[in-house]
Amino acid sequence: MQYGECCYTANGSKAWSHDVVYAQNELLEAAVGTKDEPTAEIMDVIQGSGKKQSGEATKLRQAKHESSKALFAIQLIEDLRIQKLKVRVGSSGNMVEPVGTG
């Protein structure tokens, strides 16, 4: 598999497995994250065969990263919505008209 300018391989009967490649290359896993907590760099990992695609284990890590990113965005939007509601409702519980709209 390839990350940046470097190609990574594994040894053994399951050397074809990207999970094994990550396990045998600590620096690679440190750069792209673990199976449970992939970093944004996982999106730059491709097969070393010259194809611009990823193996199944890498695709799963990429999907997990994208899912985590989406959940984070949802949380930010929800937090913003709550903050906007707090601005609209005064301490007495009455609606407060934003400045410059009246």
The Cα 18–Cα 47 span in angstroms is 9
| 72 lies in some domain | no
Counted domains in the chain: 1
Residue-wise pLDDT tens digits, 16-47: 888 899 999 999 999 999 989 999 999 999 87
Domain that holds residue 60: 2-65
pLDDT exceeds 80 at position 101: no
User: Where do the H-state alpha helices sit in the chain?
Assistant: 18-24, 26-32, 56-88
| 81 lies in some domain | no
Is pTM beyond 0.75? Reply is no
Confidence of residue 53 (pLDDT cuts 50, 70, 90): low
| 94 lies in some domain | no
Specify the pLDDT at position 21: 93
Nearest to 23 by CA among 41, 1, 43: 1
Q: Round the average pLDDT of the chain to a whole number and report it.
A: 83
| 24 lies in some domain | yes
